[in-house]
A = this chain, B = another copy of it.
Amino acid sequence: MKEIGVGIIGLGVVGQGVVKHLNRNASLLSERISTRLSVKRVFARNPKKKRAVQIAPELWAKNWESVINDPAVQIVVELIGGTTTAKEIVSQALTQGKIVVTANKALLAEHGKELFALSTKYKAPLFYEASVAGGIPIIKALNEGLIANRIQSLHGIVNGTCNYILSSMTQSGASFDAALAEAQKLGFAEADPTLDVDGWDAAHKTCILASLAYGFWVNPKQMYVEGIRKVSAQDICYTRQLGYVIKLLGIIRADGKNDVEIRVHPTLVPKEHVLAQVNGAFNAICVRGDVVGDTLFYGRGAGQDPTASAVIGDIAEAATSLAGNKQVRSFSAHKLYGKVKKIDDIVSRYYLRLSVLDKPGVLAQVAQILSKNKIGISSVIQPESDEEGEHVPLVLLIHDSTERHLRDALKQIDKLSTVKAPTRLIRIETFE
């Protein structure tokens, strides 16, 4: 049986999972791909660290370069993380014509364009299934299974930490701070949760999905990104009364002309929609194609084992392509779509929560400003409130409007003497 040599750079949580499951399911994998996968070299910054997997002493490399340079290594697996050394590793490996497998979403979101250019130039495939939604094979689905489709829209719950926090706020009525603290205690959030709760991890993944769907590389700097820190227990409660659940969604959508919307923010989802049922640390991605219609992909989006499942899937695919010299489509750039749409130009429905003086005539003032700006109100509720003093919440649902129009109106509304605090805005998706 043919043998393919694998080099692993980085032996943290995911790296150890890859080694563990490559060993455990070795015979099944060999049968399935008619090729033996053999780990030939391993590099970790601290090889002495106590780990759950045993690495034979002769496999340890002194530095990452010697993993790449080893002629026995045909597939380089980058699991070291970060965007500096990781970029050097992936670039050098591709330049040498070696196939690369990575789980590094930040690296691809920031440097995907140049890395895929290297991949094309040196005919060295770059695999990245594990970079989005852990064990869910969504990259393969977009790149191959749904290739017949123009992607009309994609809505993804792609950050398990945020979904865990929002689910627990919804179930228990807890505040964001309390839910975050609990998630940290249970290992669902990092000690420094910034990358997750401020939306950047979801943004990196959404960039990768959008690039795949639309054929031009999207940089996270071109996107609108808003995290979940400002989602309050109040908002969760009022939106629920209105028949919605709040989720952090990555949203991409072709506008039918030339531009595409790409954004990450808390979003009201109708409670009957399948994404509203996705709770805890799970991920799910709804893809609407012009041929296939609506599809959904669901599973664990992070963690050692689901991520290892995706990395090993890529290694197997790489090995198959080496055996047969397959022309791999890592990423196909084309110019059939235009550019990223500015958030100001997005048309959406909105949830607005105002804090207003509890006296007659305030709603009339607000409604007049909206009406002057040609913005329609679809629902009004004045919920019971625990707020102290003379101010009370006023909740409005707004019909389709461009964000620019609505922001202009909100500036006027927030200047009213009867309005106490900046109005809270959350976008609504209806999936129509």
Contact = CB atoms under 8 A, between A and B. Distances in A.
Given A293-B135, A329-B33, A332-B31, A148 B298 contact: no
A429 interface: no
A78 interface: no
B300 A292 contact: yes
Nearest to A17: B291
Copies of this chain per assembly: 2
B144 A313 contact: yes
Chain A contact residues: over half helix, strand or loop, or mixed? mixed
Contacts of A296: 284, 296-299
Interface string A334-361: 1010000000000000000000000000
A327 B323 contact: yes
Contacts of A292: 134-135, 299-300, 305-306, 309-310
Contact of A309 (B29, B134, B148, B308): B148
Contacts of A324: 321, 324-328
Nearest to A311: B148
A27 interface: yes
A254 to B, nearest CB: 11
Contact of A150 (B25, B146, B305): B25
A404 interface: no
A137 B27 CA distance: 26
A329 B327 CA distance: 15
B313 A145 contact: yes
Nearest 6 pairs of A and B residues by beta carbon: A137-B145, A324-B327, A326-B326, A148-B312, A135-B292, A31-B334
20 contacts: A21-B291, A25-B149, A25-B290, A28-B336, A29-B147, A29-B148, A31-B332, A135-B291, A144-B316, A145-B313, A146-B313, A148-B308, A148-B313, A148-B316, A289-B309, A291-B312, A292-B300, A292-B305, A296-B299, A325-B326
